[in-house]
């Protein structure tokens, strides 16, 4: 009798635990659905005609994708913006990695006068709100007659404060001094040391920072908006934003197609590199936490 | 060994960085300050020193202060649910029995990677009137009696802005809170379990207090980032909401400088905004230090 009672108490406890787990799983899944819903609306919307989008909520994809696509292309040549964005993001990422790693290496492995002060200076500027210099930047670029060129968008990629900080931290613990000293004794030149010892040792950090830089550049909006006003030079976000203001808010289908095209590369990168991205943020969290 | 000789290589290595840094980061900051004390004629390109008059005009402008208020409102609407959702999900994901943790964290994080421009456009379409996806969904479910005009109802427009920012950021915060949770030693929990604390008590009495530093970090970065919101409000509803309900202070600065071509006035706004953001960060740091001390004394 007592055995039975304890059994049923056990069963009840287990039932309660399962119920609790099921409820918590439901919370997790509902939030995942909330994250996913706008993408779903975008995917389905891009295949429906404007009347359907505007009048009813339907999860059934339509067959108007090509119509929407063609209307969007008539409005703006989105692929030109796509190519511009890719080009800028690749060049900027390469420059950022090469020069930030070089700077991080200097701060990590050399003892030079002013090292501490300069590094603190970089960290302080990193904390300043980004819009503080926007107007000065625009006026400066305009004074230099560099509006509607890519130079003012490319050169700043060399000075990425966060990347320098990240690479310095990585090298402090990840690259033994003995390796560099041995190379020096063997008569290896400083530049060769950087290229053939330091950079290869930083593989993982370069990939991580590279993915983040690429995404950051792909999404960059304010500076390209200010610097570029020729349609041929515009990057994808600027072009997308201009479709909207030019066209009013009426052409839902075409806009969904445009959004889809801008999100697609991120989806691909995130599927391939999601582990790298999540780790990088976790590193940031560990540093700060 | 040959430290002197190596020093000059270090300077050589940091030259490209500092050349670009000084030209395109530092100089513009000081140039903005200089411009803020001048009246700039966009046609003749002439600069006329005007002392503090740009600042005086800014401080007297109702439009500016209403944009400051909008920013704070939208930030509050976004940060409160953001922290609650992120904390709840992190705590659930921290339980041993949950399967697919990494996949779920990735899904939650993905919105953070998308261009704010795209998010602004997407939410404009979703919350469109009368025929956006949200209106269609909610009327077909019977939650709304009739379509709601989000764009032209002041508080609803702000709420949509807040929801968009919350949606973009809560997954990012989950990663930080999770890192904080991982840093709590399991010994503490085992000791509590031995003492007979249940799951709820363990969460409220151990986890929450130990998460304070990471929550503070999230709050401060969220103040710095949240008070600078610009892209999403600019794109949301085409920037043209009822009585400019979603015009934030950075958007106000942008419009002053690049739509009305008043560079001096815009630069004064930029510096004022930076001071406001600095003041808010300082208040939250001091508030937390004060509270932390109070708690320690009570214990």
Residue A125 shares a structural domain with residue A165:
yes
Query: What's the structural domain count of chain A?
Result: 2
Give the residue, A283 or B59, on which the prediction is more confident.
B59
Q: Choose the closest CB to A289 out of B18, B176, B273.
A: B176
- Co-location of A35 and A93 in the same domain: no
Above 60 in pLDDT, residue A182? Answer: yes
**Shared-domain flag, residues A37 and A118:** no
Q: CB of B5 within 8 Å of any CB in chain A?
A: no
Q: What is the model's pLDDT at position A198? A: 92
Is residue A180 domain-shared with residue A92, that is, in the same domain?
yes
- Dump pLDDT digits (tens) for B19-30: 999 999 999 999
A230 touches chain B (CB under 8 A): no
Q: A98 and A54: one domain? A: no
Residue with the bigger pLDDT between B18 and B129: it is: B18
Kindly state whether residue A270 falls inside one of the protein's structural domains. Answer: no
A39 with A122, same domain: the answer is no
Among A27, A249, A285, the residue with its CB nearest the CB of B238 is A249
Kindly report the CATH number assigned to the domain that includes residue A238.
Answer: 1.10.3720.10
Same domain, A140 and A236: yes
Which tens digits make up the pLDDT trace of A61-112?
878 888 888 888 877 788 999 999 999 999 999 999 999 999 999 999 998 8
Any A CB within 8 A of B214 CB: yes
Range of the domain at A57: 2-63
Query: How many Å apart are CA A120 and CA A252, to the nearest integer?
Result: 49
- Of A25, A31, A139, Cβ closest to residue B85: A31
Neighbouring C-beta atoms of residue B187, cutoff 10 Å? 8
CA distance A35 to A274: 16
**Cβ separation B258–A138 shorter than 8 A:** yes
Q: Report the pLDDT value the prediction gives residue A140, as an integer from 0 to 100.
A: 93
Strand partners, B48: B39
Residue A261 in domain = no
For chain B, what percent of residues have pLDDT higher than 70?
93
Strand partners, B49: B38
φ/ψ of A63, rounded to 5, equals -125, 25
Cβ within 8 Å of residue B220, ≥6 positions away: B281, B284, B285
Contact A32 B108 (CB under 8 A): yes
User: Which positions 163-192 of A are in contact with B (Cβ < 8 Å)?
Assistant: 164, 181, 184, 190
Q: Which residues of B touch A161 (CB under 8 A)?
A: 21
ipTM: 0.83
Q: Which CATH architecture is the domain B57-298 placed in?
A: Orthogonal Bundle (1.10)
The domains of chain B are located at 57-298
pLDDT tens readout for residues B47-70? 888 989 999 999 999 999 999 999
B264-290: pLDDT as tens digits: 999 999 999 999 998 988 887 787 777
- Residue A134 and residue A223 in one domain: yes
Residue of A nearest to B224 (CA): A129
Domain contains A22: yes
Is the CB of residue B33 less than 8 Å from the CB of residue B243? no
Give A 81-110 residues with CB within 8 A of chain B.
Answer: 99-100, 102-103, 105-107, 110
Residue A272 lies inside a defined structural domain of this protein? no
Identify whether residues A22 and A105 lie together within a single domain: no
Enclosing H/E stretch for B74: helix B62-93
Chain B contact for A272, CB < 8 A?
no
Does residue A171 fall inside a structural domain? yes
Asked if omega into B28 is within 30° of 0 (cis), the reply is no
What would the mean pLDDT of B123-140 be, rounded to a whole number?
Answer: 81
Higher-confidence position of A258 and A141: A141
Q: Which residue of A has its CA nearest to B99?
A: A25
Interface contact A136-B17, CB threshold 8 A: no
In this prediction, residue A6 carries a pLDDT of 66
B60 at interface of A, judged by CB pairs closer than 8 A = no
Q: Tell if the CB–CB gap between A135 and B263 is shorter than 8 Å.
A: yes
Do A188 and A153 sit in the same domain of this protein? Answer: yes
CB A199 within 8 A of CB A111: no
> What's the mean pLDDT in B200-222?
82
pLDDT digits (tens, 9 = 90+) for A26-70: 989 998 988 888 888 888 888 887 777 766 667 778 788 888 888
Do the beta carbons of residue A239 and residue A56 sit within 8 Å?
no
Domain stop point among A41, A63, A85:
A63
Asked whether the beta carbons of residue A118 and residue B180 sit closer than 8 angstroms, the reply is no
The nearest CA of chain B is from the CA of A247 a distance in Å of 11
Q: Is B31 on the interface with A (CB under 8 A)?
A: yes
Both A166 and A138 in one domain: the answer is yes
Mean pLDDT along residues A206-214: 88
In a domain, A288, yes or no: no
Specify whether A138 is located in the same domain as A238.
yes
Q: Where are the beta strands (DSSP E) in B20-153?
A: 38-40, 47-49
Residue A289, helix vs strand vs coil = coil
In a domain, A100, yes or no: yes
DSSP letter, residue A113: T
A259 found inside a domain: no
């Amino acid at each position: 009798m007592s055995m039975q009672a304890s059994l049923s108490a056990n069963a009840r406890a287990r039932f309660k635990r399962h119920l609790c787990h099921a409820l918590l799983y439901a919370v997790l899944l509902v939030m995942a659905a909330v994250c996913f819903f706008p993408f779903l609306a975008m995917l389905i919307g891009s295949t429906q005609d404007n009347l359907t989008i505007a009048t009813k909520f339907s999860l059934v994809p339509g067959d108007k994708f090509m119509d929407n696509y063609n209307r969007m292309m008539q409005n703006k040549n989105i692929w030109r913006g796509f190519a511009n964005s890719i080009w800028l993001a690749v060049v900027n990422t390469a420059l950022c990695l090469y020069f930030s790693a070089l700077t991080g290496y200097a701060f990590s492995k050399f003892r030079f006068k002013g090292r501490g002060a300069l590094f603190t200076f970089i960290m302080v500027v990193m904390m300043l709100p980004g819009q503080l210099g926007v107007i000065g930047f625009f006026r400066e670029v305009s004074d230099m007659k560099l509006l509607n060129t890519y130079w003012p968008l490319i050169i700043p990629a060399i000075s990425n404060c966060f990347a320098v900080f990240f690479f310095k931290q990585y090298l402090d613990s990840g690259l033994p001094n003995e390796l560099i000293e041995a190379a020096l004794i063997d008569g290896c030149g400083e530049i060769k040391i950087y290229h053939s010892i330091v950079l290869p040792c930083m593989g993982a950090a370069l990939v991580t920072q590279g993915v983040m830089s690429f995404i950051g550049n792909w999404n960059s909006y304010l500076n390209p908006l200010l610097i570029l006003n020729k349609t041929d030079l515009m990057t994808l976000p600027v072009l997308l934003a201009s479709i909207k203001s030019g066209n009013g808010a009426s052409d839902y289908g075409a806009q969904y197609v445009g959004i889809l095209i801008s999100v697609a590369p991120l989806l691909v990168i995130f599927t391939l590199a999601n582990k790298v991205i999540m780790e990088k943020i976790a590193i940031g969290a560990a540093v700060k936490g | 060994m040959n430290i002197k000789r190596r020093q000059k290589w270090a300077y050589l290595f940091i030259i490209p960085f500092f050349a670009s840094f000084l030209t395109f980061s530092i100089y513009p900051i000081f140039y903005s300050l200089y411009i803020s004390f001048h009246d700039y004629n966009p046609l003749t390109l002439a600069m006329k020193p005007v002392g503090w008059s740009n600042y005086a005009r800014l401080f007297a402008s109702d439009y500016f202060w209403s944009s400051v208020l909008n920013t704070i409102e939208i930030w509050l609407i976004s940060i409160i649910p953001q922290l609650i959702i992120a904390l709840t999900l992190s705590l659930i994901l921290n339980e041993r029995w949950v399967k697919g943790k990494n996949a779920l964290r990735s899904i939650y994080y993905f919105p953070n990677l998308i261009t704010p421009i795209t998010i602004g456009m997407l939410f404009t379409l979703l919350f469109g009137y009368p025929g956006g996806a949200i209106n269609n969904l909610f009327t077909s479910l019977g939650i709304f009696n009739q379509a709601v005009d989000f764009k032209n109802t002041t508080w609803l427009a702000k709420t949509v802005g807040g929801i968009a920012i919350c949606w973009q950021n809560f997954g990012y915060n989950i990663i930080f809170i999770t890192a904080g949770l991982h840093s709590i030693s399991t010994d503490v929990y085992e000791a509590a379990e031995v003492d007979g604390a249940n799951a709820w008590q363990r969460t409220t009495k151990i986890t929450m207090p130990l998460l304070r530093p990471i929550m503070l970090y999230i709050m401060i970065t969220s103040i710095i980032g949240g008070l600078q919101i610009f892209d999403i409000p600019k794109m949301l509803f085409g920037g043209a909401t009822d009585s400019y309900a979603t015009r934030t202070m950075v958007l106000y600065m942008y419009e002053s400088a690049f739509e009305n071509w008043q560079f001096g006035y815009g630069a004064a706004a930029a510096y004022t905004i930076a001071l406001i953001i600095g003041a808010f960060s300082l208040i939250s740091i001091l508030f937390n230090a004060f509270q932390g001390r109070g708690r320690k004394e009570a214990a």
